[in-house]
Amino acid sequence: MTSVGVVCGAVAFAAMIGSALAQEAPAAPASPAPITLVAPDAVPFSSAELAQALLARSFASDETTAPTVRVAPTGAGAVAVEVGSRSRVVALADRTGPAAARVVALVIAELLSDDRADRDAEAAAEPSSPVVNVAPAPDASPPASLVAVPSPAPARSAPPPRLCLTGGLTRGTGAEELVAGAVDADVLLPIESGGFRLAASLGVIYMPSRNAGTWREVSYSGTAARLLGGTTIGPVDLFAGPFASGYSIGGVNAHAGVLFGGEAVARLAAPLSRSVRLVAAARADVYGNRVRVLFADGSGYATPRVALSLGFGIAWDWAS
């Protein structure tokens, strides 16, 4: 069963009832009929024949609402059919009576189908109810909310002080700069800022007498004080800073004084326990001044301009 058939039946049924009521009570005021024939004498069929043709295309239903249908002559052998807001001109040629009514009924059914489709589309296109957002009053407090705040990262603790003791050999790069023994003590202070750390350092350099009892006898001893700064990258300490060293040269031409310059040290630490480490330290000292001792044969001994040293020892974190 189709909606168009239902509407056709309703239109035909209403047309027949309206025609019958008009015949039985001619004195009563006429109500608008669902099917209106304009100039019925000019169309080649009667309203009853059109109603029968519509009923032949309908199915029983309880739907009684139908749009207004108007049929009017437009010229020889043609009529205009209007269903709601839609219209069409139908050419009947020489058809008359039920045959002409069946052609018009077919056109009415098509226009009813188009009208029903339009009404369904309009119903589907009706806007939904607007969403109304009510803003809170100006003096109203905003609703409470929970905001997740990350916990602050724990503050990094200061590194413990570390004592490094190393012993090894040092030598200048010149031919007259002889090998000497070196002992160094470095204290890495528990003072750090952005990874930068300070260290206080003491060093002792000693060369026993060479060529004792001859006119080429020479010896050397010195004590250096350093203030270094640097950082630790993994197991490696990298530090640099100035130094001052008091010295004493013994032998034929004895001499004493102070040397100064700058030092860079790289130290590798390997843990032996929680607080004790095995260390290897390499140092490079650049001197700002130097002393040279001349012997009678024109040779001599000189303090280094650049000295390199290598030492091994242990380190101890005494706050662990």
- Same domain for 276 and 171? yes
- Same domain for 166 and 313? yes
- Same domain for 79 and 224? no
- Same domain for 169 and 264? yes
Cα 271 to Cα 275: distance, rounded to the nearest angstrom? 8
- Same domain for 168 and 290? yes
Question: Looking at the domain assignment, is residue 150 inside a domain?
Answer: no
Q: Give the closest residue to 307 by CA, choosing from 199, 159, 207.
A: 207
pLDDT tens-digit series, residues 83-121: 877 888 888 888 888 888 888 888 888 888 877 777 777
pLDDT of res. 212: 87
pLDDT of res. 63: 47
Single out the residue in 95, 121, 147 at which a domain terminates: 121
Going from the C-alpha of 161 to that of each of 111, 154, 192, 313, the distances in angstroms are 100, 21, 11, 17
Single out the residue in 96, 121, 146 at which a domain terminates: 121
Angle (deg, nearest 10), helices 97-124 and 3-24 = 120
Flag whether pLDDT at 43 surpasses 50: yes
Question: Looking at the domain assignment, is residue 142 inside a domain?
Answer: no
- Same domain for 113 and 177? no
Average pLDDT of the residues of the chain: 80
- Same domain for 236 and 299? yes
Question: Looking at the domain assignment, is residue 208 inside a domain?
Answer: yes
Question: Looking at the domain assignment, is residue 129 inside a domain?
Answer: no
Please give the angle made by the CA atoms of 253, 255 and 258, to the nearest 5 degrees. 155
CATH of the domain at 249: 2.40.160.20
Answer whether 172's CB lies under 8 Å from 302's CB. Answer: yes
Question: Looking at the domain assignment, is residue 149 inside a domain?
Answer: no
- Same domain for 251 and 179? yes
- Same domain for 117 and 38? yes
- Same domain for 79 and 219? no
Domain count, the chain: 2
pLDDT of res. 62: 42
Chain centroid to Cα 103, Å, comes to 70
- Same domain for 297 and 227? yes
Question: Looking at the domain assignment, is residue 218 inside a domain?
Answer: yes
Q: pTM score > 0.85 for this model? A: no
Cα 50 to Cα 93: distance, rounded to the nearest angstrom? 17
Question: Looking at the domain assignment, is residue 175 inside a domain?
Answer: yes
Question: Domain range for residue 226?
Answer: 162-317
Answer whether 286's CB lies under 8 Å from 224's CB. Answer: no
- Same domain for 183 and 303? yes
At 143, is the pLDDT very low, low, confident or very high (cuts 50, 70, 90)?
A: low
Pairing of strands 35-37, 69-75: parallel
pLDDT of res. 289: 95
Q: Which pair of tokens denotes residue 315?
A: 């380190």
Single out the residue in 64, 96, 121 at which a domain terminates: 121
pLDDT of res. 28: 42
pLDDT tens-digit series, residues 51-70: 888 887 654 344 455 677 88
At 214, is the pLDDT very low, low, confident or very high (cuts 50, 70, 90)?
A: confident
Question: Looking at the domain assignment, is residue 60 inside a domain?
Answer: yes
